[in-house]
Structure 1
């Protein structure tokens, strides 16, 4: 440890000489065929100390018993608690070093016929450093892996895409309260490449004959920000080589262009693609091999040259000058896909930064690999003593003997340097330790709960307070609520819906069972920053479900920008004006517009660098919104999808939203107005509430789930919209999870918060809160006396049903009969909540008689 840290702490004024030695070992990207060796769970190569778990039912079902085909103890690892609904129990394997994993195997608890527990499905999470954990997804975005059907058979699952990790966790899942047990094995090999991550621009979409070819890095497991992906690994190192025709792929059921990561010079706005590679340790790099496509007819050519910089260590400077390499002329002319070998001269580096220069309009790369060797350094520097006589000595970092001077001054000087270094190390260790714990404590204090997403469902892994832990424990003892949260006439969404097929433009989703981001608020925000409608399931086509009429295409030049309404993570909403709407024959009018008067519209814009999944969801949303034909629902007027960026044009109400309207008014009571303050009457409020209920009745008849019903999402005259999430004005109404997801928890039913179940019944709950807002004339937030964390705790009280849950209080002017309707909307049992048809009937017939 002292040797490695000494390199970091050498003063910059000292002259570094870096001779190296190497063993010329070829380290190329692995393929699935090369990496299917059992890694040692079954044969005991992995020691018990490297197998841990979140909990264990007993000593005989500890993590060490979770070995495939072994029967020690009680025959498997079994967690202490049920895995439903939290899905937070896990079995962890530490492989001690980075491995390339291509296959996993699972098994239940057999115990010579006495075991009955197994996991029908599970989720995988992995980490390369023990700090950042990544949820594995297959090539279609599905997180849940199908598991076992009995207690004894071994079920092997291919990991496509493969995993590069040191730590792997298995999270067993269940669709009800049940005990599960698990035995596992991992199959792969050592990750000799040593690559920890690469950073590159996100890929672009190529349009060929009107069909999109998605050239993005779809399996990248890092982060994406401002058009750059960083901190992860993806398709450039998955071992799959693309063919001559980049629109074809070697994988089944994926989209055109899947095998390649590609960039457009025009979209990128620069003449080169910059890719940075971070390795686990310093290595000597001899050759870089880049598998690139050279499809001349489509403006695709391999890069013309590469310029690389080398950084021997994290704290050392970049090499200068950079290494410039030209691509041979024959490689530029050959029209086939081909590996291009570039000599790197055996230079040492831990970080490489390479600029690939465009040779044409497009550059497509399928795979990058390196020939490299082990690296050792002999560090020499010159030190000067007080008499200005120089003393040259060297310190070997590779086990070579240390050159010594015969004088005693040398030993004294070395001793002083070592003492200073040890002191500095101690100070640095103390500072880092304090900062680490300060950061941890800060996170615990500031973050209410953490999230763990699965496809279409959001499960909270834990809450900072004690309440959610109690909720999970209570789930085993008192689960009296039916697992169905839909009215008897509806069918609950499947817990793990099938992953969607590759993006298609016609049709974007099946007419019979459209699945549209069923409960994934983050996914929806990533599309346009504001849409919240969802389709849980359709058991049979509705009258309009078979309508496959193409969306009306509007010319972009007719949209005149007025102002920006809001912005989501990947999209914006603009207020625009259509100056002469009568001149557009394919424009669907929501109402008659007088001749010569412009039409105000809201335009949702998808950013051009959005992923293929975001584009697919955007097109799906357009199809869904085109079906919503109701006087109390915002209508889709048209789309702009013939070119980027994709746009959706919807109605816009000039009078603004209901929250802003009511918050500036005083409810008119029987004594009449006291000042010149704008007033509103009880019958006017009930009439507006009836219109909201009518719109929601229409949505529920199509089995649509809104998931963000509130006064901020109701425009005047009453039309239900979905702009609230994207507007900064209402940022305080949403609870942010770890800087990513935003949830309107004060309007959400308890099952939404705790189990991620969004249904028509949860929309009914939100309607009750919306009605409370209206009768309180939007003077305060729901549960304004509670913090966000206490709101989440209150959801746990609804779950436990011990009589300690807190309800919104009755507004002063609210009759008891109407308040009883609100309370029925907040019933713990979602099956006992009223339907929107009943609510609409009550508001139109009975509520007016309660004044």
Structure 2
């Protein structure tokens, strides 16, 4: 740096002398010809010129030698920084769930509640699946009382991948605070026992079983379903779906089997959405492209998923249309006369479910709207508004 400053000073002196020479020459042209130019005043010392030439050559030599090295080091440093931050971002993305900015809850309220194994008393088995089993149980000393709960227990020989998925579902459910979304009370992660999710107990069980069992009830039975009951179920699920839509979450497995009933009497009956094992956070992404890791129920799947493996929030709207069809048919299997391969071909070529026997025409039009092309489907706010309007303008009736 010091050498560079010396070179710049020398060049500055040369420029000043040159400027003086040019100025003197201009004045001489205007003066009489007899006036002679004093050449000795602008003679530059030859030693100074040689010094400038040597210094410049050394500077250029250093420039050509060290600049490429410096640039390569800077480039390498930048690449390392980019890789480090990208790797850190991917690690954070895999190990924790990003809370959307629209979740306006105090972080203290969202902290995962850890439950000790001694607090849990297992009761009778309610159901089982590939993940493990669900039991009825009691949670001791929860909010100063013993609380009836549902115990979702991961199987003992679960793989590390299954344990991560189980914990991820618990983290997802912990963020939700809505009347029509199943509430997670806490988790138990003792190393010597299977992982456990403790959920609020829905006394009447899952919606699919509730609907199929209601077929056997006589019209005068106090728990017999009527048209307004079915519409109320559709409305409850739509409210829960609207909440998830506002948070930019998609469920990916909306179906009656994954919704739950709080009670059998209509005064206390509430439907809640549960089972978020397949849920995805779409707040940072436009869509989720499935990689074939999870077995997915094709009878509730939209054609864009069946053909291209693409799942968006609009794909949940398609599944909601199928769910409404299930409710109005009292739990019949969609496309019951076709096997899975035939269902895929039928849906991808534009096939639709037919109108259930007890379904009002206006509600069936909403179903058909849910089964249109992706860009033409309604959002859940529109679905909810239509269902509320229908409930307000249709008379209650017995089911046929």
**Alignment partner of 2:322 out of 766, 769, 774:** 769
Q: 1:618: which partner in 2?
A: 166
The aligned residue for residue 790 of structure 1 is: 342
* Contact kept in structure 2, 1:552 and 1:639, CA below 8 Å: yes
Task: Give yes or no for contact 1:566–1:574 (8 Å, CA) kept in 2.
Answer: yes
Corresponding residue to 1:637 among 173, 178, 185: 185
Offset at residue 614 of structure 1 (A) = 4.1
739-748 or 682-691: bigger deviation:
739-748
Is contact 2:261-2:272 (8 Å) kept? yes
**C-alpha distance in 2, partners of 1:623/1:509?**
7
Secondary structure at the residue paired with 1:742? coil
Q: Displacement of 1:678 after TM fit?
A: 6.0
How far the C-alpha of 1:674 sits from its partner, in A, is 6.6
Query: Once the 2 structures are TM-superposed, how far is the Cα of residue 707 of structure 1 from its aligned partner?
Result: 1.1
Matches within 5 A, 1:108-119: none
Give deviations 1:182-234, integer Å, cap 9, x for gaps: xxxxxxxxxxxxxxxxxxxxxxxxxxxxxxxxxxxxxxxxxxxxxxxxxxxxx
After TM superposition, give the deviation of residue 510 of structure 1 in Å. 4.1
Deviation (angstroms), 1:501: 5.0
Query: Who is 1:825 aligned against?
Result: 370
In structure 2, the CA distance between the partners of 1:253 and 1:699, relative to structure 1 (3 Å rule), is closer
Q: Deviations over 1:733-776 (max 9, x none)?
A: xxxxxx98422111111112122222221111111111111111
- Confirm whether residue 840 of structure 1 aligns to residue 392 of structure 2: no
TM-score norm. by structure 1 comes to 0.31
Tell me, in whole angstroms, the C-alpha distance in 2 between the residues paired with 1:848 and 1:840. 12
Whether contact under 8 Å (2:149, 2:198) holds in the other structure is no
Q: Deviations over 1:248-283 (max 9, x none)?
A: xxx99999xxxxxxxxxxxxxxxxxxxxxxxxxxxx
Change (3 A) 1:815 1:830: same
Question: Which structure 2 segments of 5+ residues have no match?
Answer: 1-83, 263-270, 279-291, 396-400
Q: Which has the higher helix share?
A: 2
Q: Provide the rounded CA distance (Å) in 1 between the counterparts of 2:338 and 2:310.
A: 23
Q: Distance in 2 between matches of 1:603 and 1:666?
A: 28
- Partner in structure 2 of residue 366 of structure 1: none
Which has the higher relative contact order, 1 or 2, with Cα contacts under 8 A spaced 6 or more apart? 2
Cα distance in 2 for partners of 1:578, 1:703 equals: 33
SS in 1 for 2:357: coil
Contact residue 748 and residue 762 of structure 1 kept, 8 A: yes
The Cα shift of 1:567 comes to 4.4
Which structure shows the bigger proportion of residues in strand conformation? 1
Structure 1 match to 2:150: 601
Alignment partner, residue 509 of structure 1: 97
Structure 1: segments with no counterpart, 5+ residues: 1-250, 256-497, 512-537, 588-594, 726-738, 798-804
- Within a 5 Å distance, the mapping from 1:708-723 to structure 2 comes to 708-717=253-262, 718-722=271-275
Kindly state the Cα deviation for residue 665 of structure 1 after the two structures are TM-superposed.
Answer: 2.6
CA positional deviation for 1:686: 0.6
Counterpart of 1:560? 121
TM-superposition CA deviations, 1:355-411 (whole Å, max 9, x none): xxxxxxxxxxxxxxxxxxxxxxxxxxxxxxxxxxxxxxxxxxxxxxxxxxxxxxxxx
Partner of 1:664: 213
Instruction: Tell me the residue number matched to 1:627.
Output: 175
In the superposition, the TM-score normalised over structure 2's length comes to 0.63
- Report the alpha carbon displacement of residue 677 of structure 1 after superposing the two structures with TM: 10
Q: Is the 8 A contact 1:664 1:678 kept in 2?
A: no
Which SS does the other structure have where 2:346 is aligned? helix
Please name the residue that 2:268 is paired with.
Answer: none
Shift of 1:704: 0.8
Residues 675-733 of structure 1 show CA distances to partners (whole Å, capped at 9, x for unaligned) of: 869631111111111011001111111111111111111111311112899xxxxxxxx
CA distance in 1 between partners of 2:231 and 2:175 (Å): 27
- Structure-2 change in CA distance of 1:845 and 1:674 (3 Å): closer
Distance in 1, matches of 2:248 and 2:177, equals: 14
Any idea what the Cα deviations from partners look like across 1:614-656, whole Å, max 9, x if unmatched? 4444333322211111011111101123535332211221211
Task: State the number of aligned residues.
Answer: 289
Residue among 270, 287, 303 paired with 1:750: 303
Contact 1:817 1:850 in 2 (8 A): no
Distance 1:764 1:579 in 2: 36
